[in-house]
Amino acid sequence: MPAAPVLPVVVKGVMPTANGCAVFLGNDDKTFVIYVDHFVGNAIRMSIDGVKKERPLTHDLIAHILTGLGARVEHVVINAVQESTFFARVLLVMENELGRKIVELDARPSDSIVLAIQHQRPLLVARAVFDSVEDMTEILERVQQQAAAQSDDDDDGDDEDEDYEEDQK
């Protein structure tokens, strides 16, 4: 049986970096990273966490426009990578009294990821892209362990402050 041309992936983590955010994507077999700007990294994180915003962000506006036009996101595909730059396609479906229309749009993967999460639609990666990227599973696990250890240290520090304040009374 031939390999699937696309594979489903999920966002496994969003980590801040000096120049933006690292978005870790993958499945049980492999994790890879796409670097995005802080704004979109935060939008991805807020979408994952289901954060309600006071005012709509650009991705929210796009979702409202799609809804108003009777269109929906069918799926998102990260379809190419060239010199560490990823490319994506958003597949939209619109059905009305005139019939069914399918539109495929070129988009940045970062924006596409936000749309897929917001609309709870599949996030896919082309098999050729998946096979060509470096496996970052161990890096993600190490970063998550460090973050958990840092969180534990921060929790311990709070207790020490409380103990200090208690001793001062």
Domains of the chain: 6-135 (3.10.690.10)
Query: What does the pLDDT read at residue 168?
Result: 43
Query: What does the pLDDT read at residue 166?
Result: 46
Q: Which two tokens stand for residue 98?
A: 């005139």
Is 160 in a helix, a strand, or coil? helix
Query: Per-residue pLDDT tens for 110-161?
Result: 999 999 999 999 999 999 999 999 999 999 999 888 888 887 777 655 554 4
Query: What does the pLDDT read at residue 130?
Result: 97
Highest mean pLDDT (candidates 1-5, 18-22, 63-67):
18-22
% of the chain surpassing 90 pLDDT: 65
71-82/123-126 β-pairing: parallel
Q: Phi and psi for 84 in degrees, rounded to 5?
A: 70, 5
CA atoms of 70 and 65, how far apart (whole Å): 9
Q: Do the beta carbons of residue 74 and residue 124 sit within 8 Å? A: no
CA distances from 146 to 32, 100, 140, 141, 142 (A): 19, 49, 10, 9, 6
